[in-house]
């Protein structure tokens, strides 16, 4: 999740997805206590940050309470948050600095880099939930760790449909200028940024092939942390 000025961008979407996955997977979660728990920890992070730098005279943020919802493009220094729900219902929060992301970002097809077996199963129920159980993306994450110039590897399914990246949703611009993104039925995570773009009418779902990706006039990828980014395919030699 993206934290700026003590606020989480797209928090309602994150919250709804967390609650839905907790119900589906049988993880206990007190929805009524979630917002207060998170706001208290964000406030603690904010206080730590203010102690680390001299306060500015008249800065209203010095006494302002933390909030957990904000526009995606709120200005300020950003941090990444990782909210984890354990199987026993315990919550934990991790935080780290978030450097800017230069555009366009580089992507490659997973099958081109990892081999033809690097495909997703459209019916895999784990693809619908954001969890720490990610064996299908393990090889991609190892590859990206050793190729920091690349932002993501993009996967298809066994039928040749375009799915998603290991850390992002993918979008293809069609001849009419519309931005298209694969439907959930192809095998992908219901991304929070993806849903926000669909709700705003900035993108729409369409079944796409890997050939559509290769031949696209323009490409973008998105996630809730980094935003909606221009992308281009760069296949390493």
Whether the per-residue pLDDT at 70 is higher than 50: the answer is: no
What does the pLDDT read at residue 77?
A: 80
Give yes or no for residue 2 having a pLDDT over 60: yes
Who wins on pLDDT, 6 or 86? 86
* Predicted local distance difference test score (pLDDT) of residue 4: 92
Residue 66 binned pLDDT confidence (cut-offs 50, 70, 90): very low
What is the distance between the alpha carbons of residues 48 and 65, in angstroms, rounded to a whole number? 14
The 3 state secondary structure assigned to 120-186 is ECCCCHHHHCCCCCCHHHHHHHHHHHHCCCEEEEEEEECCCEEEEECCCEEEEECCCCCEEECCHHH
Q: Which SS3 state, helix, strand or coil, does residue 80 take?
A: strand
Q: Which of 221, 215, 111, 218 is nearest to 160 (CA)?
A: 111
Residue 72 has pLDDT above 50, yes or no: no
pLDDT above 90 as % of the chain:
84
Q: Is the pLDDT of residue 71 over 50?
A: no
Residue 54 has pLDDT above 60, yes or no: no
The pLDDT, as a whole number, for residue 33 is 94
Spatial CA neighbour of 21 closest among 81, 86, 72: 86
CA atoms within 13 A on the CB side of 231: 32
Q: Is pLDDT larger for residue 169 or for residue 58?
A: 169
Can the peptide bond before residue 104 be classed as cis, meaning omega within 30 degrees of 0? yes
* Count of C-beta atoms within a 10 Å radius of residue 137: 19
Q: What is the mean pLDDT of residues 180-207?
A: 98
Task: Give the C-alpha separation, 179 to 194, whole Å.
Answer: 11
Domains, in order of start, for the chain: 2-97 (no CATH), 105-233 (3.20.10.10)
* pLDDT digit string, tens, across residues 37-53: 999 999 998 777 665 55
- Residue-wise pLDDT for 79-92, tens only, equals 999 999 999 999 99
Cβ–Cβ under 8 Å, residues 157 and 122: yes
**pLDDT at site 73:** 38
Q: Is 69 exposed, middle or buried (0-12, 13-18, 19+ CB in 10 A)?
A: middle
- How far apart are alpha carbons 182 and 112 in whole angstroms? 20
DSSP 202: S
């Amino acid at each position: 999740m993206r934290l700026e000025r003590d606020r989480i961008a797209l928090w309602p979407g994150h919250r709804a997805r967390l609650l839905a996955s907790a119900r589906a997977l049988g993880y206990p979660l007190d929805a009524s206590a979630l917002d207060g728990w998170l706001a208290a920890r964000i406030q603690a992070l904010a206080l730590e940050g203010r102690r680390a730098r001299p306060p500015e005279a008249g800065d209203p943020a010095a006494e302002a309470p933390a909030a957990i919802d904000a526009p995606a493009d709120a200005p300020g220094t950003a941090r990444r948050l990782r909210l984890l729900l354990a199987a026993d219902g315990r919550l934990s929060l991790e935080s780290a600095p978030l450097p800017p992301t230069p555009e366009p970002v580089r992507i490659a097809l997973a099958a081109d880099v990892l081999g033809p077996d690097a495909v997703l199963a459209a019916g895999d129920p784990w693809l619908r939930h954001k969890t720490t159980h990610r064996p299908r993306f393990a090889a991609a994450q190892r590859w990206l760790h050793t190729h920091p110039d690349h932002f993501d590897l993009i996967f298809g399914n066994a039928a040749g449909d375009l799915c998603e990246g290991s850390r992002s949703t993918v979008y293809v611009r069609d001849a009419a200028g519309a931005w298209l993104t694969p439907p959930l039925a192809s095998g992908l995570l219901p991304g929070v940024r993806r849903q926000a773009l669909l709700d705003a009418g900035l993108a729409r779902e369409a079944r796409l092939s890997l050939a559509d990706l290769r031949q696209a006039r323009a490409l973008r990828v998105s996630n809730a942390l980094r935003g909606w980014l221009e992308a281009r395919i760069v296949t390493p030699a």
